[in-house]
Each structure stands twice: as C-alpha cells, then as structure tokens.
Amino acid sequence: MSVAVSIALAGCNRDEAPINISYRQVGICKVYETAAGPVAPRVDEGLAIFKIESLDNSKSGKSFTFDPGLLYIDQSTPEQKAKQVWEWNRRFVSTDKRFVQSTGITPSTMATVPGGGKVEANSFVVVPIGTNNPSGGPEAKQFALDLLYDAGSADKGENHVSEGVNFIKSNATGNWQLAENCKEIALK
C-alpha cells in the first residue's frame, strides 16, 4: 500500500505540477564494516537507509534537477520548528563514501528529469539520525522517518520545505529493519 505525502508551502502558487519522488525506508543501523575496521556514527546516532525508487515528472512541462544532497530528515522539536530554519534539527544525506563502498549499493546522484519524463532511480541515500527521539514525538513512531527536500532557504530563515515536490513513501506502514550492524539489513 502506498501512501502519498504531499508537502508544499501553503499558498504557494506553482504553475507546474510537482515532481513525485517515490521512496521507501529500508532500515536503520548503527555500525558498518570497512577494510580499515568498523565505522559508527556518533553516540545516540544511527544511519537511516532509504531507497529512492523513481523520480516522476510526467505531469510537468518543466525539467526538475534532483539533488540528493538536498534530501533530509527533520528531527526538530516543536520549539525548534517555531524558530528560524537554521535552528531546526535537520539531518541531511551523508556524503561519506565509505558506506557505499562497503555495502556495494548504488548511491543516488544528481539527475535532471525532463518535463514529461520519469526516471527509475533505484538508488540509495543514507542519513545520520538521532536515535534518542530528538523530535520528542511518540516513541512508537520515532523511527518512522519521512524524507523532505530543501527547495531553498531565504536569508531571513524562511524555508521552502519540499516546494514543488510530492513524496510517495511505499512502505509508510512501517515495513523496515532495525539492526545494530548494517550488514544485517537487506539492501535491495
């Protein structure tokens, strides 16, 4: 069952239809192995792994440049969200290549999707996240993570969260793995 999450600015007057980014949360782990030994994020952090399935721009007449480096998880508290964007707890995609090298996954890369086009991405992104429930939300949902897209931040700290982007999480009901070692997660 797919659940569409439409995230756009209220009152935004876009002439073009938004791009649909389909993805699924694969799992969350704490450590992975490299030739030099195990690598782990900081204390109280884990690695959230997502598979970007497709970039569907078929309903738009304009091209869209997808930059996976602009994907993030928002783990802000309500108090942080009431402040300027630079005070939010946004966790962006990791650029550390060691995870990709050690697991053999295909990393997401920049891609321009032409208007009317669709790209089957079938690639992965990894986001270091807080595992101590930094958003203060319900414990049962602390690892149910949604991707967002930084469509630009203004000088005054205003954030255009996912403007022009619809996210479709194909496993929104919670079908992902939690593991201490990343090699225990099926990366497919």
Position 163 in a domain: yes
**Residue 145 and residue 129 in contact, taking contact as beta carbons nearer than 8 Å:** yes
The answer to the question of residue 188 being in a domain is no
Distance of CA 78 to the CA centre of its chain: 20
Is the CB of residue 135 less than 8 Å from the CB of residue 77?
yes
The mean pLDDT value for 82-94 works out to 83
Confirm whether 149 is domain-assigned: yes
Q: Is residue 158 part of a domain?
A: yes
pTM (two decimals): 0.83
Domain presence at residue 87 = yes
Is residue 184 one of the residues assigned to a domain?
A: no
In this structure, is residue 68 part of a structural domain?
yes
Residue 180 lies in a domain: no
Instruction: Read off the pLDDT of residues 118-134 as tens digits, 9 standing for 90 and up.
Output: 999 999 999 999 888 76
**Residue 164's pLDDT is what?**
82
- The number of folded domains in the chain is 1
Which token pair is 67? 């930059």
Angle, alpha carbons 124-164-123 (nearest 5°): 10
* Residue 139 pLDDT level (bands cut at 50, 70, 90): low
The CATH number that applies at residue 118 is 2.60.40
Q: Over the stretch 63-75, which tens digit does the pLDDT of each residue have?
A: 999 999 999 998 8
Domain of 88, in residue numbers: 3-172
